[in-house]
Amino acid sequence: MKKYLFITLLCLGCADLFGQSITINDLTNLTSLANEDAHNYVVLSKGFKKEYTQVVDGNVVEHLKKAGADKKEESVEIGEFVKLSSGAILRTVTYKTSTAVQVFNLMTQAKSSGIRMRFQGVDVKNNIYLFDNDFFHITMYISRDNTNGFVQVKQKEYLGFD
């Protein structure tokens, strides 16, 4: 019994040591939030700080950054969207990290949450992984030398039956 308790505590300690700020659920949920709400969520509950804003195709894109004590750098970009003729807004959230392990963790989370990997390939700089379901198109890039990566989550138009 003591052996199992020790292993459980060891696993919990390692999970905290290698934990990441953002999960795949956080990224997909951010696509459904308005810019102000997404900003508040990332700043207040995830510890990111506003770095700068820029206007891209008429959208105000906000760049938020977090640097951990172990020199892991993470950033989130919110505010990019496409407005459909129906008035619906499809948002895009981008997460960048200086540690490729975090993208591998997000990949594992996506697979375990039922989002299917549709493509795996390589270009000159990156390993590319495309995930897709009815609601999201997720692109994950990991540099070929495994030093960094980024994840882009795009909301899709859902064509359901009423």
pLDDT of res. 59: 87
- Residue 118 in any domain: the answer is yes
Domain that holds residue 117: 20-155
Q: What is the pTM of this model?
A: 0.83
91-124: per-residue pLDDT in tens? 999 999 999 999 999 999 999 999 999 999 999 9
What is each CA distance from 54 to 31, 43, 61, in whole angstroms? Answer: 18, 18, 5
Q: Please check the confidence at residue 158 and state whether its pLDDT lies above 80.
A: no
SS3 48: coil
- Residue 26: partners with Cβ closer than 8 Å, 6 or more residues away: 41, 46
- Residue 162 in any domain: the answer is no
- Residue 6 in any domain: the answer is no
Q: In this structure, what CATH number is given to the domain that contains residue 102?
A: 3.30.1460
- Residue 15 in any domain: the answer is no
When divided into structural domains, the chain yields a total of 1
pLDDT of res. 6: 37
pLDDT of res. 152: 98
SS3 41: helix
pLDDT of res. 21: 84
CA torsion, ordered 27, 142, 116, 157, to nearest 10 deg: 50
More confident residue, 18 or 77: 77
Share of the chain above pLDDT 70, in %: 83
pLDDT of res. 67: 72
- Residue 81 in any domain: the answer is yes
- Residue 128 in any domain: the answer is yes
- Residue 125 in any domain: the answer is yes
Share of the chain above pLDDT 90, in %: 73
Q: Return the bridge partners of 63, or none.
A: 52, 77
- Residue 43 in any domain: the answer is yes
- Beta strands per DSSP E along the chain: 49-56, 59-67, 73-83, 89-97, 116-122, 126-132, 136-143, 149-155
